[in-house]
Structure 1
Amino acid sequence: MAKTSIVASEAAHFGAMAGDWWDPNGASAMLHKLNPVRLCYIRDQVDQLWGLDEHSLRPLAGKTALDVGCGAGLLAEPLARLGARVTAIDAAPELIEAAKAHAFGGHLDIDYRSIGVEDLDGQFDLVTALEVIEHVVDPQAFVEALVARLAPGGLLLLSTPNRTGWSKLLTITLAEGLGRIPRGTHDYGKFIDPDQMRGLLAKAGMEVIDVEGIAFSPTRGLHLSEDTRLNYLVSCRRAPPDTSCLSRGSKRLNGLRQFA
């Protein structure tokens, strides 16, 4: 496993955006538009996995949550309002300071730390890493570090741009080219398609529960969709133990007993 998932230049790039992170019209405007879509998906997945009341205002009460690559808290704050005891980490100390200040103003108790996930102790019921994996040193090592932080019976959620021409066009050519996203935010060579993501998760001992696309249209804006070409979310849990070897061994033993 890599010693750290953090790319220093990536941390510096996002850290420079700390000043207006909470401005819905600032450098992080696209994340502000994306966040309600992600929250809708998260709420649906936690309700389904844990059999929660979909009408509850605090469905995550009694649960712990870890948000990796939290920025200045766009996702961590809603998770706290949903009742979770939230730990949120980011590689950019400037973002963590902005996150702490914003949470203080909103009277939210969130444990913010500028640290890599590999250096964090403990396990959490819910682990999120949204729009992060395309910015790390080693995606496989990063996934394994996320899984190490996941408590038994827990839920891991990731999102990332798909590796398609459509995603490159909208995310880099248009969004970055027109200044909707700061230039240099994305490297198409680090985009991950759903099949590759499934492979990374399977190798880390995870079972994919659901894959949902995030699509864009002029009339609906960003929205959940079966179309994964632009961006997608993945929900997963630890894979059940493989009992096939035990089963084969049992059948072989029963077969030998017939000749005893």
Structure 2
Amino acid sequence: MPRNDPRQYDDLAAEWWHPTGTFALLHWLAAARAALVPPAPGPGRILVDAGCGGGLLAPHLRGKGYRHIGVDLRRTGLEQAAPRGVTAVLGDVTALPLAPHSADVVVAGEILEHVTDLPGTVAELCRVLRPGGIVVLDTLNDTGLSRLITVTLGERLGIAPPGLHDPALFVPPRRLVAEFARHGVPLRIRGVRPSLTGLFRWLVLRRPAHGRRIVPVPSTAVLYQGIGRKIRGIEGRAHETGVAHAAG
């Protein structure tokens, strides 16, 4: 199976909610991502989770007041997301089956380093985001250090499943900032990493990590978060709403 093949997620479906399994680090990142999402300012607000996988973001959004819509390519992940309160939509992040300006928040966690059309994906994320809405993301930087830690060492140590990432698709922050700026979404970037105690508990002791598992760091050389707000009036009408689900 080639690197970055989405079918791998079908083979790994049982790992989505295993507390110390292959996707444990994704749970930590989901919690850190959700911490950047503000409470909904009113009823009926929509959060779109692009590339939602098994719905790991869901427990960290409880009480924030959003309708959580998850879009993913793989039915195996959506089948696990739906029972956790996610409105599951089968679809591709490069062609989101959602109406323009339908989302108050768009979240793109650990998905941008997997897409083969970054400009098209960013355009779609911004298309469905209403003016004044917020985008929250995290992804991997395109550096030698990132490739070493994530692929070379990460696959040997069990931090990432073999072949899950194609380092040719890793995303430098400067490029991502430029792509979002084209659509009226200025991004603020900061580096993050897993806590060392969390990694030790997971990789060595095979126990769930506790406390603050993702911490900010000065460097964006490996892993980074981004948050931005879409400039009002940048495109279309601010009051356009609704969700158009794909057929089938």
Question: Could you state the TM-score of these two structures normalised by the residue count of structure 1?
Answer: 0.75
- Quote how far apart the aligned CAs of 1:60 are: 5.8
1:82 and 1:133 map into 2 onto residues whose CA distance is: 25
Q: Does 1:149 align with 2:128?
A: yes
Letter in 2 for 1:21: W
Contact kept in structure 2, 1:61 and 1:82, CA below 8 Å:
no
Contact kept in structure 1, 2:131 and 2:232, CA below 8 Å: no
Segments of 5+ residues of structure 1 without an aligned counterpart are 1-6, 47-57, 243-260
- Seen in structure 2, the aligned counterparts of structure 1 residues 119 and 8 have a Cα distance that, compared at 3 Å, is farther
1:205 shift after superposition:
2.8
Q: CA deviation at 1:219?
A: 4.7
- 1:76 deviation in Å? 3.1
Q: 1:96 and 2:78 equivalent? A: yes
Query: Which deviations, in whole Å up to 9, do the C-alpha atoms of 1:203-249 show, x marking residues without a partner?
Result: 233222x211112453575312232112111111224669xxxxxxx
The aligned amino acid for 2:17 is: W
How well do the aligned residues superpose, as a CA RMSD in angstroms? 2.4
Which range moved further: 87-96 or 25-34? 25-34
Alpha-carbon deviations, 1:88-135, whole Å to 9, x = none? Answer: 11111111112224x1xxxx3x21112124241231100001110111
Task: Give 1:224-239 correspondences, 5 Å limit.
Answer: 224-239=216-231
> Per-residue CA shift, 1:175-230, capped at 9, x if unaligned?
2122221101111111111111111112233222x211112453575312232112
CA distance in 2, matches of 1:61, 1:84: 9
Pick one of 171, 186, 192 that aligns with 1:214.
192
Q: How many residues are aligned here? A: 215
Instruction: Provide Cα deviations, 1:32-58, integer angstroms capped at 9, x if missing partner.
Output: 232332233x14xx3xxxxxxxxxxx6
Q: Which has the higher contact order (CA 8 A, sep 6+)?
A: 2
| Separation (CA, whole Å) in 1 of partners of 2:165 and 2:47 | 27
Report whether the alignment pairs 1:131 with 2:100. Answer: no
Sequence identity of aligned pairs in percent?
31
Shift, 1:156, TM fit: 1.1
Q: 1:32-181 residue pairs with structure 2 within 5 A?
A: 32-40=27-35, 42-43=36-37, 46=38, 59=40, 62=43, 63-101=45-83, 103=84, 108=85, 110-117=86-93, 118-122=95-99, 123-181=102-160
Q: Against the structure 1 CA distance between its residues 94 and 219, is the aligned structure 2 distance closer, same or farther, given a 3 Å change threshold?
A: closer
* Residue aligned with 1:137, SS: coil
Tell me how far apart the structure 1 counterparts of residues 14 and 122 of structure 2 sit (CA, whole Å). 29
Deviation at 1:149, TM superposition (A): 0.5
* CA gap 1:169/1:77 in 2 versus in 1, 3 angstroms: same
Give the AA of the match of 1:181.
A
* 1:156–1:235 CA contact under 8 A, matched in 2: yes
TM-aligned CA deviation for residue 14 of structure 1? 1.8
Is the 8 Å Cα contact of residues 4 and 165 (structure 2) preserved in structure 1?
no
- State the match for 2:25 in structure 1: 30
Does the CA-based 8 Å contact 1:19-1:98 persist in structure 2?
no
> Is the deviation greater in 222-231 or in 156-165?
222-231
Structure 1 residue matching 2:224: 3-state secondary structure: strand
